[in-house]
Structure 1
Amino acid sequence: MYCIKTFTANGKQLLIRNFKKESILCGFSVKKYHYLYKTFTNNYGNSSFFQIKQVTICSCYINKSLYLGNPYSQIGFGTKTGDVQNSKTTEQKRSGILSEINIEYSTQQNTTSGLKILPISSPESNKITQIYYDDNDASREAQKLFVNPKNMLHNIFYLVSKEINKPSLHLTPSYRQIKDHKKMTWICIYKIGWPKEMKFMAKDVTKKVASEKAALAALTWLRQERKITDQGAPLIYDKEEIKQISRKTYPVITLDEKTIEKMKNIIEVHNTNMLPIIESTSSEIGEGSILGENSVPKEDEDMQLTPVKKQIFLGSERYSSKEKVELPIAAFKNKIKEHVVSHQVLIIKGEPGCGKSTRVPQYVLEAWAEAEGLQGEPGRVVVTQPRRIAAISLAERVASERDEFVGDIVGYQVRLNSKFRSNTGRILYCTTGILLRHLQSDSKLSGFTHIILDEAHERDVNTDLLMNLLRSAIRSNPKLKLIVMSATIDTNMFSEYYDNAPVLEIPGFTYPVKQHFLDDCVEIDLLKTLKMCEGDVPSVIHEDVVNVLKYIQNYKKEGAILCFLPGWDDIIKIKRLIPERRDLSVHCLHSRLDDYEQRKIFSRPPPGVRKIILATNIAETSVTVDDVVYVVDTGIHKDQRFDVGKGVKCIDNHWISKASAHQRKGRAGRCQPGECFHLYPSSKYEAFQEYSLPEMMRTSLTKIVLDSKVFSNNMNALEFMGKLPTPPEKNAIKAAVEELTDLALLDEEEKLTSLGETLADFQLEPKLGKAMVNAVIFKCVTPIVDIVTLFSADSELFVSGLMAKDEAKSVKTRFSGNSDHLAMMRLFEKYLEYSADGDFAGVRQFCESANLLSYKMGTLEKLRNIHFDYLHDGLNNVIPVSDDHSDNDELVKAVLYSGVGNVLQHRDWDIVKNRFKNNTNVLLTRHNQKATIAAESVNYKRNKFPSDYLLYINETRSNIRRTTIVRECSIISKISMLLFSNHNLKIQEMKDVVDSESENQIQLVLEGTNIKLICDRMHAEEIIKCKRALMSSYRYFVSQLTKPAERNEAASKAWNDILNLVTQILIENGVNDRR
């Protein structure tokens, strides 16, 4: 048991070592000890100054000695233990040689907690705790973490001093040299001032090691106090301090008296003129059936399949299959025809290259012609494809094989593009969305004879919905035939889903494909990729992919190369790494490229030139490039997953499934033996899942649930979704129902409201559809329709826009300084001016100057007309579709926000790894997730924000990058955000805010969000009352627009008065759009 005694003399500390309780003061003679004791008590009168204090246990043992405080050589005593120098006079001793004695008896000689601390106090030191380095478990563990402790310690205190603006915290160690056991020894002392004043000491024969040990002692203590991380980052603020900082930085909203007066006028107009009309009218949105008694869904002309009417029968020979090339499926032709005639449902599992997508539709048509065509029965075969390019290219391929023009007998129909003659056409290739749209008005598909659901293995949302709806259709329409086809389909599951339907399996390749896994590719340097495969997160090693391409080019025979990559960034990086050579022709294939660019991959290069196609998984199925001989499979795809809790889609790299790997291999060797290079080991392949996760399990269900109400006549969402081949999680379904209810599209009984019925007919996300309806009410229709058209198409509009994002930003900034939505709207309107005048030269010149793709703009113009039709045909004419307030930019942004409801919150501070960063720009989503604005946005790297709020339409979460990416946004004023939000406002007292300037200040809280603003109490009350008046009037007009009603002139006049006041408020308090 150790007894620790320390004496402070004139502010200096005397160290006493090697003593035990039984022999007080080993190293000091008992006589000298009594002398000091007597001197002390004689001067101060009694021994009451001897204080026993409970302090932290100390265990800094060096050579069985206990060191406390500064080394004794610094305090005016002799270098030998127990030798008291006689340099002090009696008067000095009487004036306070011993000012305080601290005593602690410890029963613990050592513990596992690491360094032990004993505070030593004196008038000058103010109880600075001192610690000596100890080679114990804690310090050894710290030594493993902090390889260079001295540099680490100095860096920590540099960061801390900078963070809290205290330069005195910079560290400078002090050194002393003493003689210890006849050897000269260095002692290093670090004095720190954060998180409290401390001293850390160590000794060694070398100065460097002594400093390293002292620094390590400091780091060990800081780590035990949880003031640094294991990586050496300082933890400056605790949770409560962070909370206090955030409380002090709430945005403030101030309104002038003129604005308050206008709000009062809005409330008065509402209460006096609008409210009596509202109360006398049934304005419950939820009333009414799905469709009015005499109404039918308004269909996009290009989205509605034309009914079979007056078809011209051209003779059986015209409907016979044409087979210029022998394919494996030909051996199964008769069996397929027999099954189609004798069974209502047939499942076909065909290996890639067997010819199912091009030949089965012809076999079905031939079987129809032989059985029913001669008798005059109508016949039409619909073949669905998940992608536009597949539908178009397959129709062209089949028509070419039959020596026919596209559209005569075999044609296609995709959105905004169709080649199909209704009187002669028999085989129609279309996207899954086209058939779904038709099912909304014809659930039995009574105008069709055969439906072929191709590429069912992809399990995209539309395909899964079709499988459910087609199962109902064949039960209600016995004449309808269904064929489900895929290369890697789970035949047992699909057969059971369709009441044990028969299954035909067709073998595939006419030529063998040699596989090379990563562990086989010893001739190519792929060590980086091999190391990547050992980790959890897949990523493309671009130089390794190029090494494989070079190897094929240098050592393999002629033949095109198809390289599968996760996304556009990877495609561009690899394209840049491929040397520009005359014997190479590089093409890109991505879903956001236009049809023309995508179809370039089918062209054959000149002799001596090798074609390289860099593609996403769009090339896995349906798209067949005949001259592909070599496939490079990275094994990675960019997959979208939906985070139900955060309500955001997450896009990251994921490993593919075995089925996808099989499909990728199948792209090679269509015309000759092929080879496939898998850039992952065979052991990694064995760990892949058998099939890809269905899209229904990893996407937002909001639009799907809304559509399901129309398909199922308001069936409960859980019940309808439970009938899918793979039902999604119940939480995801419930979240979709809640969102639709918040949007007033479903009522409390989960039935469609009149607004819900209207928006279900819009082929748009519900939020965008609602924004368009709101634009009618607030009389700014054209800008909102243009914005919705532009940002719902998911199409790249700029030349090289996927690559040259800074150029896109530069063009947009010419039209708006703080709004991507207004910038693109103005670009589009400028294009439309030339187009409306028929000035094709002007269109071309404008598109070239703005770096726009003119044909894409033409497609958007058609889509824009469809969106206008939604409003003209789908709404009652109680409010004319007008642009009375379209010039008010702030109103346009506010109305867009009223629909989409997404807002980023800006703040000029941040706390990163417990470090406070001032004068920075941080953006937070509604879920308090940090967001990053993409490079193509006009607000990218913005330094000053005229408002703390930015509305946006779409967001994507990247878990790898740990940020939410927003590609388009607009700065919106605080008052616009408060008045046009779908959430209610409430007042919250300022009790948790410590720096309130006035007792009249409160927090104005937007319920259900993280948005809080400091506001004057009276102003907040007026804002809330004004918002209630606006929402009351708004709900009235929504009901009038979406249910049979007559125009009320008094209500219209009152609403115009309110709108005029609202627009004035927004102009006076809005964000100036500097260009």
Structure 2
Amino acid sequence: MSATIDAERFSKYFGGCPIINVPGFTYPVKSFYLEDILSILKSSEENHLDDTVGVSDGEPELTEEDILALDESIEMAWLNDEFDPLLEFVASGGSSQIFNYQHSVTGLTPLMVLAGKGRVSDVCMLLSFGAMCELQAKDGTTALELAERGDQKETAEAIRKHLETSTSNSKEERRLIGAYLAKNSNSVDVRLLEQLLGKICLDSKEGAILVFLPGWDDISKTRERLSINPLFKDASKFLIISLHSMVPSKEQKKVFRRPPPGCRKIILSTNIAETAITIDDVVYVIDSGWMKEKSYDPYSNISTFQSSWISKASAKQREGRAGRCQPGICYHLYSKFRASSLPDFQVPEIKRMPIEELCLQVKLLDPNCKIEGFLQKTLDPPVFDTIRNAILVLQDIGALSLDEKLTELGKKLGSLPVHPVTSKMLIFAILMNCLDPALTLACALDYKDPFTLPMLPSERKKAAAAKAELASLYGGHSDQLAVVAAFDCWKNAKGRGQARFCSKYYISSSTMTMLSGMRRQLEMELVQNGFIPEDVSTCNLNACDPGILHTVLVAGLYPKVGRLLPPQKRGKRAVVETCSGSRVLLHRHSLNFELSLKQTDNHPLIVYDEVTRGDGGTHIRNCTVVGPLPLLMVAKDIAVAPAKMSDNCKGGTENNNNGNDEAGIDETAQEKMDIENKSNQQPEEMIMSSPDNAVTVVVDRWLQFWSKALDIAQLYCLRERLSSAILFKVKHPNGVLPPVLGASMHALACILSYDGLSGISLESVEMLTSMVNATEIGQFAPGKSVGTHKKVSWFHKLHPNYNDFSVPEANGTSILNDPLSQNLLPTPDFRTANPSDPSSPYVRASPNSAYARSAPQSQREHKPFKLGKPSRDQDAAQQQQQEQQEQQEQQQQQQHAQEHNTRKQRNSHKERMAAKQQKPPSGDLSLNGYGLNTYGPYGHRGISLKRPRSVMTGG
């Protein structure tokens, strides 16, 4: 059941299925449109429309320059389809003489030209401005006849509707609305709304007023406008309430309470009040005609959240809000012609949203079908680019093979009630014993942000500070991790001060309750699928580890990665460059907004949930600053190139920062070509032949870092082990990881933990522990001193700021065997109770054979520390034994180096042939391509350390 469903279409789709219509009782509602409202307000002495609608009948005459420009613009549009000059002229004019100007030779008007060319939206604009359909060209044709002659059916229908509507309008109404629309843009006129509210309140004393506005900005502008109006200043006479999804639930409940006698309630609401709720004392409804609608542009792969015109079904719903409990009146702030031109129904979600989940469900229902063919049979098929983008995402995360076959991983991802990329994040979190925060992230991404927006500007500053304090518990600079910290603290405060906590940190209690229920359902799904045991405590041993948690977040948001480019001029904001080359801004509500105002030589890496194009531009609202290590572990492609290309990197970056979006894209493409050319100039075996070689690491063919061959080879091995561990977990949810994979996951967790501790102060770690375990919320008031977030990666040879970075001398130290990574506090815990753990937490991965031959003995083996003080004899004996052992090792190492060089010279040809003939192992389709282009770590194809699409990439 739906109040806005197109029942006839559904009936036809299902072969003429019968329709049962059960009408509901509503009181009569009288409707007024913009023409009527302008006539009502025109008599008011304090009417702001006096300077717009009260124009004199004698308009200024067109100059000779205007006439020549109009003639040229009409000719260009009619003959060459160049419409921009004509549209710019019309938009900048605002005079009916321009709208109705006739070409000096042909007699064509701008309306005739646009109608004949089928420019339906521009025709509607001119008609709303007051362009006359009755005018005829020199040959006697009208705009309607030109549209019909050009087979422009949609344009002709719009002109017919306008003619039918205009016959009922008086000449005075047409003059008023034409003058008004010529001076007012396509947005909510707050001044007109203020005048109408004043008129209603002066003419009647009772009945609540419900105002429908597009979004929060319009609500704020209207509220501020009313607050300075002398009529609405008296709080005892007017109760102004905002109704928005981000408003605290306590404030939202006020709309259902009747005000005291003598007080009138005015509700400023979005379309949240359009259906599902009934406010019984509403008598007057003001419909702006606009709404905020989220849609998806498949061509730019960007989500949009912009104001758009409502549908006729929505207009009917808004009108009905005034007649639920008594007769009412509805004022529509748009013309009768606009009302007749509105679409009948809203565009279905399948045509305005990404469809990765839908495509995966299609393959689960019919594994042998082609996704595009299946979706073309739906009631409203999505466009091809939307389907293609969804398939690419599923292939990148390993849910589908390159030929659209469903993999074992895809089956498991489709069994969870969240986005496939989020599902893969959960599997990764289970392997890392970091499930609890991953559950919160998954539910928050699928539902909404729990933070509320206070009404007063001073309160908004406090809310931003409270959110920043919560984010600092996991290192700061993260909108997503602020949600995780908020939920952890709310859960601990439940029953012991939950209301105080939500009030102090500006958090919606109802949203938290919803997230808690969603988490329980998602947790049960994981248990039923065998991913976790019923006792999930063993899966949360690293839940408070910032380094591991950052990597879990990157796995859930990849490939939505960008780097922050500093502002080029003072007063300007920094932009985020995404992997597609586009440049977007950080939203002012993001915790990282201040980073866009600072001048810095660094290019911080960020991950974000989505890029949204709104009325104020293209923004990223929720994002997190991350280091290079998490990205290197989940990236799709990793390539290496000679380090001597650093000069090119510097120049390319500087050029990119000075250009516009298009120039940036071209330069990025040129930079990629330079990378390929440079890498082809030096043999692959020379780049990765020695662990001390300095190399440039290129991630996904656009991000560049500096490293050593040894370090990137070790990271590459860990990436492959991580991929294998995920696939093993998918095939054997209840099984224990093999010792090699388990030890690799333990090593990876140690490295990530080390990386996280280098980016978060110990004070923040201590504060997190105390805050989660506290019984009183008051001791954590906003403003408490916390550690500053300074990201210093353990991987000291990787540096995102390659403009001024010099590669340090290699010392051959391996982080995998660094004793510091084994003695960090807190230490990542892998216990045998977790089904994905190795049999022993002390099992370590054996070093790679190439690494064992090339690394010094002191790096390959770290002897454990022993307690107790040895005797002098024991000490001397051990020292002598150690010296002898070191001499033997040096001799063996020299001998191995000579043998290695000899074998390399003799067998170089055989090794190349063996690399070319390498074949992927048989088995699961998600392993197809494993090993292709991945000869290494020091083989002949070490230049292309690349993971195929179908293997784990993190989305």
Match of residue 33 from structure 2: 517
Rg larger in 1 or in 2? 1
- Asked if the contact 2:248/2:452 (under 8 Å) is kept, the reply is no
**Alpha-carbon distance in 2 for matches of 1:830, 1:806:** 21
- Asked if the contact 1:812/1:823 (under 8 Å) is kept, the reply is yes
**Alpha-carbon distance in 1 for matches of 2:396, 2:754:** 27
Match of residue 516 from structure 2: 861
Q: For residues 801 and 781 of structure 1, do their structure 2 counterparts lie closer, same or farther at Cα, with a shift above 3 Å needed?
A: farther
Q: For residues 669 and 1013 of structure 1, do their structure 2 counterparts lie closer, same or farther at Cα, with a shift above 3 Å needed?
A: same
**Alpha-carbon distance in 1 for matches of 2:28, 2:497:** 54
- Tell me by how many angstroms 1:986 deviates: 4.5
- Tell me by how many angstroms 1:500 deviates: 1.3
Q: 2:581 is aligned with what amino acid?
A: N
Give yes or no for the alignment of 1:830 onto 2:477. Answer: no
Give matches, 1:433-582, under 5 Å.
453-455=1-3, 457=4, 486=5, 489=6, 491=8, 493-503=9-19, 511-521=27-37, 522-524=39-41, 525=47, 527=49, 533=181, 538-556=186-204, 558-578=206-226, 579-580=232-233, 581-582=235-236
**Alpha-carbon distance in 1 for matches of 2:507, 2:541:** 29
- Tell me by how many angstroms 1:533 deviates: 4.8
Of 690, 698, 703, 1:1005 maps to 698
Q: For residues 591 and 755 of structure 1, do their structure 2 counterparts lie closer, same or farther at Cα, with a shift above 3 Å needed?
A: farther
- Asked if the contact 1:776/1:880 (under 8 Å) is kept, the reply is no
**Alpha-carbon distance in 1 for matches of 2:14, 2:254:** 39
Match of residue 938 from structure 1: 591
Give matches, 1:635-646, under 5 Å.
635-646=289-300
Match of residue 675 from structure 1: 329
- Tell me by how many angstroms 1:570 deviates: 1.6
Q: 2:788 is aligned with what amino acid?
A: R
Give yes or no for the alignment of 1:693 onto 2:344. Answer: no
**Alpha-carbon distance in 2 for matches of 1:982, 1:610:** 59
Of 538, 557, 562, 1:904 maps to 562
**Alpha-carbon distance in 1 for matches of 2:491, 2:411:** 31
- Tell me by how many angstroms 1:749 deviates: 3.9
SS of residue paired to 2:594: coil
Query: After superposition, what is the alpha-carbon deviation per residue over 1:426-480, rounded to whole angstroms, capped at 9, x for unaligned?
Result: xxxxxxxxxxxxxxxxxxxxxxxxxxx323x3xxxxxxxxxxxxxxxxxxxxxxx
- Tell me by how many angstroms 1:650 deviates: 0.6
Give yes or no for the alignment of 1:806 onto 2:461. Answer: yes
Q: For residues 790 and 728 of structure 1, do their structure 2 counterparts lie closer, same or farther at Cα, with a shift above 3 Å needed?
A: closer
**Alpha-carbon distance in 2 for matches of 1:625, 1:565:** 17
Q: 1:888 is aligned with what amino acid?
A: D
Q: For residues 986 and 704 of structure 1, do their structure 2 counterparts lie closer, same or farther at Cα, with a shift above 3 Å needed?
A: farther
Query: After superposition, what is the alpha-carbon deviation per residue over 1:264-306, rounded to whole angstroms, capped at 9, x for unaligned?
Result: xxxxxxxxxxxxxxxxxxxxxxxxxxxxxxxxxxxxxxxxxxx
Q: For residues 814 and 589 of structure 1, do their structure 2 counterparts lie closer, same or farther at Cα, with a shift above 3 Å needed?
A: closer
Percent identity between matched residues is 27
Give yes or no for the alignment of 1:893 onto 2:546. Answer: no
Give matches, 1:7-86, under 5 Å.
none
Query: After superposition, what is the alpha-carbon deviation per residue over 1:617-642, rounded to whole angstroms, capped at 9, x for unaligned?
Result: 23333433333221111111111220
Query: After superposition, what is the alpha-carbon deviation per residue over 1:870-926, rounded to whole angstroms, capped at 9, x for unaligned?
Result: 43333445999534444431231122102211222112244xxxxx77996332233
Query: After superposition, what is the alpha-carbon deviation per residue over 1:818-874, rounded to whole angstroms, capped at 9, x for unaligned?
Result: 223333323332233333xxxx23334433433334444344333333333343333
Give matches, 1:67-466, under 5 Å.
453-455=1-3, 457=4
Q: For residues 828 and 502 of structure 1, do their structure 2 counterparts lie closer, same or farther at Cα, with a shift above 3 Å needed?
A: closer
SS of residue paired to 1:1015: strand
Query: After superposition, what is the alpha-carbon deviation per residue over 1:951-975, rounded to whole angstroms, capped at 9, x for unaligned?
Result: 34423422542322x2322211123
Match of residue 874 from structure 2: none
**Alpha-carbon distance in 1 for matches of 2:194, 2:509:** 34
- Asked if the contact 2:636/2:700 (under 8 Å) is kept, the reply is no
Give matches, 1:898-977, under 5 Å.
898-901=555-558, 902-910=560-568, 921-942=574-595, 943=598, 948-964=603-619, 966-977=620-631
**Alpha-carbon distance in 2 for matches of 1:656, 1:1026:** 56
Q: For residues 974 and 1035 of structure 1, do their structure 2 counterparts lie closer, same or farther at Cα, with a shift above 3 Å needed?
A: closer
- Asked if the contact 1:777/1:1034 (under 8 Å) is kept, the reply is no
More strand per residue: 1
- Tell me by how many angstroms 1:537 deviates: 6.8
**Alpha-carbon distance in 1 for matches of 2:588, 2:488:** 24
- Asked if the contact 1:651/1:956 (under 8 Å) is kept, the reply is no
Q: For residues 699 and 1056 of structure 1, do their structure 2 counterparts lie closer, same or farther at Cα, with a shift above 3 Å needed?
A: closer
User: If the length of structure 2 is used for normalisation, what is the TM-score?
Assistant: 0.55
Q: For residues 560 and 1025 of structure 1, do their structure 2 counterparts lie closer, same or farther at Cα, with a shift above 3 Å needed?
A: same
Q: 1:561 is aligned with what amino acid?
A: I
Q: For residues 949 and 563 of structure 1, do their structure 2 counterparts lie closer, same or farther at Cα, with a shift above 3 Å needed?
A: same
SS of residue paired to 2:539: coil
Match of residue 730 from structure 2: 1042
Query: After superposition, what is the alpha-carbon deviation per residue over 1:741-783, rounded to whole angstroms, capped at 9, x for unaligned?
Result: 1111223343433332233233322222222211112232233
- Tell me by how many angstroms 1:649 deviates: 0.8
Q: 2:287 is aligned with what amino acid?
A: D
Match of residue 1031 from structure 1: 719
**Alpha-carbon distance in 2 for matches of 1:657, 1:877:** 46
SS of residue paired to 1:939: helix
Of 419, 425, 433, 1:771 maps to 425
Give yes or no for the alignment of 1:797 onto 2:445. Answer: no
Q: 1:640 is aligned with what amino acid?
A: K
Give yes or no for the alignment of 1:871 onto 2:526. Answer: yes
SS of residue paired to 1:1055: helix
- Tell me by how many angstroms 1:791 deviates: 4.2
Q: How many residues align?
A: 576
**Alpha-carbon distance in 2 for matches of 1:725, 1:789:** 30
- Asked if the contact 1:937/1:967 (under 8 Å) is kept, the reply is yes
Query: After superposition, what is the alpha-carbon deviation per residue over 1:114-135, rounded to whole angstroms, capped at 9, x for unaligned?
Result: xxxxxxxxxxxxxxxxxxxxxx
- Tell me by how many angstroms 1:595 deviates: 6.3
Give yes or no for the alignment of 1:820 onto 2:479. Answer: yes
Q: For residues 958 and 560 of structure 1, do their structure 2 counterparts lie closer, same or farther at Cα, with a shift above 3 Å needed?
A: same
SS of residue paired to 2:222: helix
Q: For residues 775 and 695 of structure 1, do their structure 2 counterparts lie closer, same or farther at Cα, with a shift above 3 Å needed?
A: same
SS of residue paired to 2:633: helix
**Alpha-carbon distance in 2 for matches of 1:536, 1:1026:** 63
**Alpha-carbon distance in 1 for matches of 2:249, 2:377:** 35
SS of residue paired to 2:322: coil
- Asked if the contact 2:566/2:599 (under 8 Å) is kept, the reply is no
**Alpha-carbon distance in 1 for matches of 2:449, 2:189:** 28
Query: After superposition, what is the alpha-carbon deviation per residue over 1:577-611, rounded to whole angstroms, capped at 9, x for unaligned?
Result: 33343232333333445666545434433443333
**Alpha-carbon distance in 2 for matches of 1:821, 1:927:** 23
SS of residue paired to 1:538: coil
Q: 2:371 is aligned with what amino acid?
A: A
Give yes or no for the alignment of 1:1015 onto 2:729. Answer: no
- Tell me by how many angstroms 1:811 deviates: 0.8
| Larger RCO, structures 1/2 (Cα 8 Å, 6+ apart) | 2
Match of residue 882 from structure 1: 539
Q: For residues 658 and 771 of structure 1, do their structure 2 counterparts lie closer, same or farther at Cα, with a shift above 3 Å needed?
A: same
User: If the length of structure 1 is used for normalisation, what is the TM-score?
Assistant: 0.49
The answer for unaligned runs of 5 or more in structure 2 is 42-46, 54-176, 227-231, 652-677, 683-692, 762-786, 790-955
